[in-house]
Amino acid sequence: MPGSKLDEIDRMILAELQADGRMTNVELARRVGISAPPCLRRVRTLEDQGYIRGYHADIDPRALGFEVQVFAMVGLVSQAEADLSAFEARCLAWPLVRECHMLNGEVDFILKCVAPDLRTFQSFLTEELTAADNVASVKTSLVIRGAKDEPGVPFDVLEARLAREA
């Protein structure tokens, strides 16, 4: 299991940074019970190994006027790897698409989109998404309210699994 390659301190560092990526290295070291220099080395190693992909602020879209959030389920005509990759590249270029996930099953991709208003999203939908090469169908669902938006992974589940395997 990938998480088992990390020791308990590394996993604690990841959990703390996931909860608050802005804390100082000194505070992080205090929370995980080691001194600051080895803590910083561990963080840099976790970054180099790809466990930490980056740091960002959690921006409230509505506070900036992005009132519309939509999930778009996209079906493609062809699922050949070149066509899947071409669609993914297209998604990277669309600013309104904030997440793009390829799925197994009835739908090929699900896109999380944000827009300032329905008119802007409708223009994107009709002029760009449904008009894109290889797109066979698009079904959309407008988000009414979000109940949970938790980033990362549940470290308590990882720790419980590692304890069972030990």
pLDDT of residue 59: 92
pLDDT of residue 5: 87
**Domains recognised in the chain with CATH numbers:** 2-56 (1.10.10.10), 61-142 (3.30.70.920)
- Cβ pair 112, 66 in contact under 8 A: no
Q: What is the pLDDT of residues 4-20, one digit of tens each?
A: 589 999 999 999 999 99
SS3 sequence, 126-155?
A: HHHHCCCCCEEEEEEEECCCCCCCCCCCCH
Give the C-alpha separation, 37 to 135, whole Å.
Answer: 52
Hey, how many other C-beta atoms are within 10 angstroms of the C-beta on 42?
Answer: 21
pTM of the shown model: 0.86
2 pLDDT more than 70: no
* SS3 of residue 99 by DSSP: strand
Give the C-alpha separation, 49 to 8, whole Å.
Answer: 16
Residue 166 binned pLDDT confidence (cut-offs 50, 70, 90)? confident
129-135, long-range: CB within 8 Å, 24+ apart, which pairs?
129/72, 129/74, 129/94, 132/87, 132/90, 133/86, 133/90, 134/76, 134/77, 134/78, 134/83, 134/86, 134/87, 135/74, 135/75, 135/76, 135/77, 135/87
The gap between the terminal CA atoms of the chain, to the nearest Å, is: 12
Mean pLDDT score of the chain: 95
Over range 50-56, report the average pLDDT: 95
- Cβ pair 113, 72 in contact under 8 A: yes
Q: What is the pLDDT of residues 72-128, one digit of tens each?
A: 999 999 999 999 999 999 999 999 999 999 999 999 999 999 999 999 999 999 999
Q: What is the amino acid identity at position 130?
A: T
pLDDT of residue 62: 93
Give the C-alpha separation, 90 to 47, whole Å.
Answer: 28
